[in-house]
Structure 1
Amino acid sequence: MYTSSIKLHFLFFVMIIAILIIPAYSDIISDSPVMYQASTYAMVESGNYSEVITVDEMKSFGNFGVGGFKDLDGELTQINGDIYQIKHDGSVLKPEGDTGICFANTITFDPEYLINLNETMNEDTLLANIHDSFPDENVIYAFRIDGEFPEITVRSVPPQEEPYPSLSEVIEDQSVFHLQNISGTVSGFWFPEWMQGVNYAGFHTHFITDARDAGGHVLDMTTENASVSIQPIYTFTMILPDKKED
């Protein structure tokens, strides 16, 4: 009888906790912006660089993101709603609205917390500090780094023609740019290990200068006086390539 009473009290306690937690978690999800993703990393890795969405469509989905263009024609960085195309020759363009995009992540950026990293840090230390701030390693994070970059190494890739080679083959012909003593913004996402293939598990970062005259996919960086804005992501919508017209 005493044991049954304990069980009943425990069950009642669990039910109360569930009633309190479930609506709270539901509120978190409903209040959080949705991340939109065009294509998957596995598709791009295998050599699918066909158009999935356009620049105008990406802008309608979010104001902050990263990606690549149709035919893998340069690196894509989205900051404050503007989309930039960093070509393999290092030039930076603002592409037309009907320009095709083969892969992208974008979100209406609404960071939940900010960390200031005033020390000079190499990339490993910087990313470790950002990772250590994550409250939950099972969700996605968008983050923005604004600051000074004593050194940053970025890359872009040349446009491809069908039949497309794999991403690893394209990267063999990448253009690498070593930038020094500049200020700018890193747009980035972090994906948990269980999402490998859907996206790239770990950090994916792109950079553009404050002058909007250089940037690319980040290979290495050193920062100082960095301000990092971070947004957890609980929901996302995936847009897959449509082959019906092929």
Structure 2
Amino acid sequence: MAIDDAFIQAFRLHQQQGDLFHPPGREDQAIHQASTIGALMEGVYDGEITYAELARLGDFGLGTFNALDGEMIAYDGRFFQMKSDGKAYPVDPAAKTPFAVVMFFDPTVKVLWEEQVGWKQFQQSVDKAVPSRNIFYAIKVKARFDHIRVRTVPRQNKPYPPLVEVAKHQPEFTFEDVEGTLVGFRFPDYAQGLNVAGYHVHFLAADLASGGHVLDFSMQDARIDIDVTSKFHMEVPECGDFLAADLGKDQSEDIHAAEN
């Protein structure tokens, strides 16, 4: 069976049972987001929400830190900061974030996939299987990676440059023959500017020592869990640089450049 068919079969099973959104005994969990990716693109790198506050809204997700000090990944209630040295560190609950996305992860769709699959093929396979591209998908993957290429953003100093400029100088790392976990989301196209349309995924190695924002990979022996939700809550800053930022322009090209 091709990986496309495996995903289609898994989604159809829950659609036929009528429990894709509301399995027995499970409440549909909302995605909670602090600020917007558009604000981050404009150099709004300081927020007021702490990770202690964020953890009350979800145990799974991704984001960044004030001053754009690295990438965040969270799963199973544990939060990690992946800095520009490529290493991962436990998050200080008092640390603050200008942008983060979290939820309480409770997957409906589960797929086991032993064969090798690449990042682009993985995205295409999920795209073919999802019942609608207009709702939200949280994705967690535990796998063995033949290779995985990631980047992390370095801490910035004021006056902050826009993210597309930071991305030109971001350090990249490639890890080979490593086990680890992917955490990410698939957002609808209409969410571009609020978040990243399509896939936004972070990686943490199984030894909890390294990781970053995913650029490419080849993986096998994967356990893929997907949580489907129609609920999305967002809170934006009420003060600071966010209020003056120009968020009305089309940022699609810059978002693509910065995220890929």
Assess same fold via TM > 0.5. yes
* Residues 183-228 of structure 1: CA deviation (Å, up to 9, x unaligned): 0000010011111111110000000011000100001111101111
Q: Does 1:217 align with 2:213?
A: yes
* TM superposition shift of 1:162: 1.9
Counterpart CA distance in 2 for 1:62 and 1:131 is 25
Q: Does 1:152 align with 2:148?
A: yes
Which residue number in structure 2 is paired with residue 129 of structure 1?
Answer: 125
* TM superposition shift of 1:133: 2.5
Which residue number in structure 1 is paired with residue 60 of structure 2?
Answer: 64
Alignment of 1:1-246 (within 5 A): 28=22, 31-243=27-239
Contact 1:155 1:176 in 2 (8 A): yes
Question: Where in structure 2 are there 5+ consecutive unaligned residues?
Answer: 1-17, 244-260
User: Normalized against structure 1, the TM-score is what?
Assistant: 0.86
* Residues 103-150 of structure 1: CA deviation (Å, up to 9, x unaligned): 111000010111122210111111212222211111011010111000
Counterpart CA distance in 2 for 1:244 and 1:100 is 14
User: Per the alignment, in what secondary structure is the counterpart of residue 158 of structure 1?
Assistant: coil
Contact 1:52 1:241 in 2 (8 A): yes
CA RMSD of aligned residues (A): 2.0
Counterpart CA distance in 1 for 2:134 and 2:78 is 29
Contact 1:38 1:52 in 2 (8 A): no
Change (3 A) 1:234 1:52: farther
* Alignment-mate amino acid for residue 32 of structure 2: Y
Counterpart CA distance in 1 for 2:226 and 2:240 is 38
* TM superposition shift of 1:66: 0.5
Which residue number in structure 1 is paired with residue 248 of structure 2?
Answer: none
* Alignment-mate amino acid for residue 128 of structure 1: Q
* TM superposition shift of 1:83: 0.5
Question: Which of the pair has more CA radius of gyration?
Answer: 1
User: Normalized against structure 2, the TM-score is what?
Assistant: 0.81
Pairs aligned (count): 222
User: Per the alignment, in what secondary structure is the counterpart of residue 190 of structure 2?
Assistant: helix
Counterpart CA distance in 2 for 1:206 and 1:68 is 11
* Residues 4-27 of structure 1: CA deviation (Å, up to 9, x unaligned): xxxxxxxxxxxxxxxxxxxx99x8
Counterpart CA distance in 2 for 1:244 and 1:67 is 19
Question: Where in structure 1 are there 5+ consecutive unaligned residues?
Answer: 1-23
Which residue number in structure 2 is paired with residue 6 of structure 1?
Answer: none
Contact 1:140 1:189 in 2 (8 A): yes
* Alignment-mate amino acid for residue 71 of structure 1: A
* Alignment-mate amino acid for residue 34 of structure 2: A
Counterpart CA distance in 1 for 2:240 and 2:122 is 44
Counterpart CA distance in 1 for 2:205 and 2:56 is 24
Counterpart CA distance in 2 for 1:143 and 1:188 is 5
Counterpart CA distance in 2 for 1:133 and 1:64 is 23
Moved more, 156-165 or 173-182: 156-165
Counterpart CA distance in 1 for 2:238 and 2:159 is 17
* TM superposition shift of 1:91: 2.0
* Alignment-mate amino acid for residue 228 of structure 1: I
| Identity rate, percent | 33
Counterpart CA distance in 2 for 1:189 and 1:44 is 17
